[in-house]
Amino acid sequence: MKPETICVQAGYTPKNGEPRVMPIYQSTTYKYDSAQTLGELFDLKKDGHMYSRISNPSVAFVEDKVSQLEGGIGALMTSSGQAAILISVLNLCSAGDNFVCSSAIYGGTVNLFSVTLKRMGIECRFVLPEASREEIEAQIDDRTKLVYGEALTNPSLDVLDIEKFAQAAHNHHIPLIVDNTFPTPILCRPFEFGADIVVHSTSKYMDGHATVVGGIIVDSGKFDWTKGDFPGLTQPDESYHGVTYTKNFGSAAYITKARVQLMRDLGSTPQAMSAFILNLGLETLALRMERHSYNALKVAQYLESNQKISWVNYPGLASNKNHELAKKYLSKGCSGVVSFGVKGGREAAMQFMNKLKLAAIVTHVADARTCVLHPASTTHRQLTDEQLVACGITPDLVRLSVGIENVDDIIADIENALNA
């Protein structure tokens, strides 16, 4: 099926006489006819739901849909995007290990990687997104377990050269994990360019309406874990009586371990109702991403021609430094976020935002409704000046998440605020 059809039809498939709309399985537990069957579930010898901290039918329907959208073999929903990122890394890294990461990533992820994981004995080695393959590989040693980057960065809007980062990782038998939140699989499918694992904050475009927080991990099933140094996957797990994930689950080793070990122990569990709401958002994802991208390009072109704007960053613009990468990786559209600077610096940017009427000032992005934020004083305010520069954030940067309203109304709101 094509992505547009997957959005609507995949995941839940009703049988004869069953509800047409995906049901909400609001239950923590599941009944079985014998203790033996339940024991086999706990020993990972049978498939099925044993407890909703680990799996739930409503959640499983959405996991299947997103996995199909990305072209993966399996997925794991989490309670937030941060939980998905954390589990994706902890599934491979232990104390004493390290990983390499593009420096142009979301500020919350910078904190997670450089502060929280550091406390756990895991080192993150940052490289510039424009680093050469050789420079990336220079950061890799025998304790490096993965390479990480964002397909389209928040909020600097750098386009990750996925093939370059994948090649650098694969030359050392380690996987590439890509956060595909901003493009979604409608605009970019990282597995087609060499990525091995994909993560999302489903709170953003996938939900699309600012109604439910969530995350998801998708496994391509293409990485051969037996050729690298991944003892958690290739050696017996004592918490499951010696199960070896690569031996027992083959290409699904990574995503199985993430679910039955880390979700079991960390409990970053998505709720059935959250899955139901997310599924409603997914049904219109393809339509919304097309409109978001169309509107954002129109807004970026308007801003580029406005004398009160000092600079505009949107990969869809021919003048943008990432335009060639965007043509390769984001040929269907460059998503709905535009960043720019208002002449006059930070104070002028804040005054401009205060005068907007249609666009709301919120701690959010990727909404059906147009919204705006000043990252340096909000989402990224915990970062040092050096970290802000590495993330591509300047004091005057305004992040505009362009919604699906009529683009003429969005532009009129911007123009009124600039001229007020």
**CATH for the 287-419 domain, from 3.40.50.9100, 3.40.640.10, 3.40.50.450, 3.90.1150.10:** 3.90.1150.10
pTM here is: 0.95
d(CA 123, CA 295): 40
The pLDDT assigned to 381 comes to 65
pLDDT at residue 37 above 80?
A: yes
> For residue 275, is pLDDT > 80?
yes
User: How many whole angstroms separate alpha carbon 231 and alpha carbon 244?
Assistant: 9
Give pLDDT, residue 167.
98
CATH code, residues 3-280: 3.40.640.10
Q: Collapsing DSSP states into helix, strand and coil, what is residue 96?
A: coil
Asked if 339 and 400 count as a contact pair (C-beta separation under 8 A), the reply is: yes
User: What pLDDT, in 10s, does the model give residues 183-193?
Assistant: 999 999 999 99
Domain boundaries, the chain: 3-280, 287-419
pLDDT recorded at residue 87: 98
Q: What is the DSSP letter of 144?
A: E
The position carrying tokens 């050392």 is 172
Helices 407-419 and 285-304, axial angle in degrees (round to 10): 40
- Residue 389: pLDDT band (50, 70, 90) is low
CA 303, 305, 309, 314 dihedral sign is positive
Domains 3-280 and 287-419 share a fold: no
The amino acid occupying position 65 is K
CA–CA dist 115, 77 (Å, integer): 24
**pLDDT of 306 strictly over 80:** yes
What pLDDT band is residue 207 in, cutting at 50, 70 and 90? very high
Any alpha helices (H) in 245-360, and if so which ranges? Answer: 245-249, 253-257, 264-266, 272-283, 285-304, 323-329, 345-354
Map tokens 């099925």 to a residue: 48
